[in-house]
Structure 1
């Protein structure tokens, strides 16, 4: 099991637009149907782990965003309308224990903002930070960097060009438990 955070960001380091939407939604390539690699990413995932702020907007959608994933939510309360199969807990370490107990060896998609990512990184649970840099400059929005310590050890595992000029960059977090299977031998 690897816990993998994947998010899009603008070239100037914002993970949301100035109006609060995820960075990839502003990219014309995404709007025209390019997945930015998320479909391939989700093929290896069996669980989604997220904060309540990311989870709550999904409750109003016509279509459940994680139809094939077990969902675990970090939050101080269980939001109204939360499906029974969704696991919630206010304690990140306890939620992580529940997630690990339920995991069948698949990866975990850590969905959320910088605060959620930092919470699980601080517990030593974040294995990879996967960024999709979209070719846009926002000049405002939520930044990735304030929540991650400058001492966070990141090791480049791979990068690739995506449609429309976006770039995927995958980093292993220092001290990660599992090497990426396609990492060059010198980087494991």
Structure 2
């Protein structure tokens, strides 16, 4: 089991738009499976995220993770949460629940930089995948607002994606 964070980022370095949405949603090429996510999810069996990322899914037209076990780092269970979603406010305890249910697949760490930093600081984040989008958003949240800037990254691969985006994959190494 590997824990893999995958984020889209605008060319000017923002992981959200000014109104808090992931920047890929304003990309004209955005849609189901776009930006390399379909290939990425083939190895994943679980999704791990913070409550802020999870809650909008409760009112979405379709459940975003139909084939994944869902784990949420949060202190309350929002109304409408499906029964099979696991919620816990302790990141280590939640990690143990993920490990206990894992059948060998990877875990997609979804969410904001704070959630990603929580699991990076625990030393369990294996890869950071960035999809650089070919446009600027001008404002929003940057990855490094929460992620420790001393995080060691080892280049693993890169590839162009449809619509001019570029995927860059880094293996996360211990802090420098």
TM score, norm. by length of structure 2: 0.95
SS state of the match for residue 121, structure 1? helix
**Counterpart position of 1:157:** 156
In 2, Cα distance between equivalents of 1:157 and 1:101: 29
**Counterpart position of 1:17:** 17
In 2, Cα distance between equivalents of 1:57 and 1:119: 21
Alignment of 1:142-153 (within 5 A): 142-153=141-152
SS state of the match for residue 156, structure 2? strand
**Structure 1, gaps ≥5 residues long:** 176-188
Alignment of 1:12-91 (within 5 A): 12-30=12-30, 35-91=34-90
Q: Report if aligned partners of 1:5, 1:110 keep a CA contact under 8 Å in 2.
A: yes
* 1:170 to 1:78, Cα distance in 2 relative to 1, 3 A: same
**Counterpart position of 1:128:** 127
**Counterpart position of 1:171:** 170
* 1:34 to 1:48, Cα distance in 2 relative to 1, 3 A: closer
In 2, Cα distance between equivalents of 1:27 and 1:52: 24
In 1, Cα distance between equivalents of 2:120 and 2:33: 29
Give the number of equivalent residue pairs: 175
TM score, norm. by length of structure 1: 0.89
In 2, Cα distance between equivalents of 1:122 and 1:162: 30
In 2, Cα distance between equivalents of 1:35 and 1:63: 16
Are 2:116 and 1:117 equivalent residues in the alignment? yes
- CA displacement at 1:104 relative to structure 2: 0.4
- CA displacement at 1:16 relative to structure 2: 0.9
Q: Report if aligned partners of 1:34, 1:163 keep a CA contact under 8 Å in 2.
A: no
Residue-by-residue CA offset, 1:106-157 (whole Å, 9 max, x unaligned): 0000010001100111111110000000011111011111111121000000
Runs of 4+ in 1 over 4 A off after TM superposition: none
* 1:152 to 1:93, Cα distance in 2 relative to 1, 3 A: same
